[in-house]
């Protein structure tokens, strides 16, 4: 077992990375004088992992869409008490989530940390599925899928992803469809579990009122060594072109909402940390709440404070998204595109760049005061093979020239789509 202390003198912060004998990477960020602790146990396995194989398998396995989310639900069950009931007895608040590229199980507590950590490590490592319980869950998740069909923010995003992406599984709802989950079996769940819930494909991050010693003690006692396997993930080629430049749906909303996305295609499947940071600085400079674009849209009453931007990236997909409420989404989209065109021709001014960079820099510093955010950022960095302080250090050195070079490669209007939800 290897324990490494990772410090940042400028921040005055440090955390520990432990390469555990089981194969698991463990990250511990002790915060003195904090009364709470937060732990997240995650696997690099999300909704987009629908075709895969272990390196020694002859053929790829294609699984039903939504199975990662289904597996997340099922892991909380056991032959006796389910995990939520166990956490309730200790006073902890527990949850889990599945995203496009990872599944995480978590708890926060103000006491009984060791007991709660034991529960977390135990239930995630002991799956229990039967065909009968799988069939029961199909009905429950089917109901959840139907419910999300009426959630405007969810629908506007997935309508946009379907408008932009033809082949990549990011276009599919994280929970799958009622038809796809009907094909899930206990055997398939075990196959996915045995592939992706290997400790070498997972990470544990803990922050707050904790010590390295107590985390290692629980890991030593509860985790046995996993064989290190190589997982091949298969994605179908994605064209540069979008499927359609406009899509709309009517739902029960008070005013229209929109998402405008600019699809990107790259020779490599993932954006580097530098590219992600430059992308976020560019979005802040163009459309942040101190930008000329934001002021113009507010003054014309085309948006309200719900307006936001996101650099939406993951394995094999990348796009920049502008979202919010608008009484005239098409006019709002036209003005955004016009402003982007002006920036691409004239470049980002150094003053605008510095304002955006410093805002992200300040936000990064503030994140070290929140144990929930710390632990989740540790997991995200681990799955990107980065260190927690890498973002902070890189933000100090980025230049306006680099931002303008990156801007020239992105936000191409030819590869954009507008998704709109109108009042029914």
| 325-to-76, 158, 328, 334, 339 alpha-carbon distances in Å | 37, 16, 9, 15, 19
**Maximal CA-CA distance, the chain:** 65
Catalytic residue among 32, 62, 72, 230: 72
* Among 360, 366, 230, 186, residue whose Cα is nearest residue 290: 360
Q: Is 264 exposed, middle or buried (0-12, 13-18, 19+ CB in 10 A)?
A: buried
Structure tokens that stand for 119 in this block = 């529960």
Examine the residue annotation and report whether 72 is marked as an active-site residue of this protein.
yes
Helix (H) or strand (E) holding 319, with range, is: strand 317-325
Residue at token pair 């990662």: 68
* Among 206, 325, 179, residue whose Cα is nearest residue 257: 325
* Among 54, 52, 51, 47, residue whose Cα is nearest residue 70: 47
Euclidean distance between CA atoms 399 and 278, whole angstroms: 9
Provide the terminal-to-terminal Cα distance of the chain, rounded to the nearest Å: 59
Active site residues: 72
């Amino acid at each position: 077992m290897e324990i490494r202390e990772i410090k940042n003198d400028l921040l005055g912060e440090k955390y520990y990375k432990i390469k555990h004998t089981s194969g698991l990477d463990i990250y511990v960020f002790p915060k003195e004088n904090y009364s709470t602790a937060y732990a997240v146990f995650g696997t690099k396995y999300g909704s987009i992992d629908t075709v895969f194989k272990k390196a020694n398998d002859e053929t790829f396995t294609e699984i039903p869409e939504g199975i990662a989310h289904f597996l997340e639900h099922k892991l909380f069950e056991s032959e006796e008490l389910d995990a939520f009931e166990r956490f309730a007895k200790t006073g902890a608040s527990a949850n889990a989530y599945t995203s496009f590229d990872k599944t995480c199980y978590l708890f926060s507590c103000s006491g009984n940390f060791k007991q709660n950590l034991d529960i977390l490590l135990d239930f995630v490592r002991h799956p229990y599925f039967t065909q009968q319980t799988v069939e029961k869950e199909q009905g429950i998740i089917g109901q959840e899928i139907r419910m999300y069909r009426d959630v405007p923010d969810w629908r506007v995003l997935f309508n946009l992803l379907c408008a932009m992406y033809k082949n990549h599984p990011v276009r599919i709802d994280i929970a799958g469809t009622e038809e796809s989950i009907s094909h899930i079996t206990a055997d398939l769940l075990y196959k996915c579990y045995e592939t992706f819930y290997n400790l070498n494909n997972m990470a544990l991050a803990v922050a707050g009122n904790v010590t390295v010693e107590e985390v290692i003690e629980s890991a030593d006692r509860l985790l046995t060594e996993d064989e290190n396997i190589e997982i091949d993930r298969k994605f179908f080629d994605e064209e540069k072109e979008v499927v359609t430049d406009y899509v709309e749906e009517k739902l029960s909303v008070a005013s229209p909402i929109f998402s405008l996305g600019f699809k990107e295609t790259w020779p490599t499947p993932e954006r580097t940390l530098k590219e992600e940071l430059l992308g976020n600085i560019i979005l802040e400079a163009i459309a942040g709440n101190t930008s000329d674009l934001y002021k113009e849209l507010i003054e014309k009453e085309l948006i309200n404070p719900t307006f936001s931007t996101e650099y939406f990236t993951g394995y094999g997909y990348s796009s920049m998204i502008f979202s919010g409420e608008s009484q005239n989404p098409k006019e709002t989209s036209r003005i955004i595109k016009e402003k982007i065109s002006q920036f691409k021709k004239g470049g980002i001014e150094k003053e605008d760049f510095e304002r955006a960079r410093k805002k992200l820099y300040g936000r990064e510093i503030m994140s070290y005061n929140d144990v929930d955010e710390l632990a989740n950022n540790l997991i995200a960095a681990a799955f990107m093979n980065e260190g927690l302080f890498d973002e902070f250090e890189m933000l100090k050195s980025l230049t306006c020239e680099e931002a303008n070079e990156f801007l020239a490669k992105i936000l191409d209007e030819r590869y954009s789509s507008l998704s709109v939800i109108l009042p029914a």
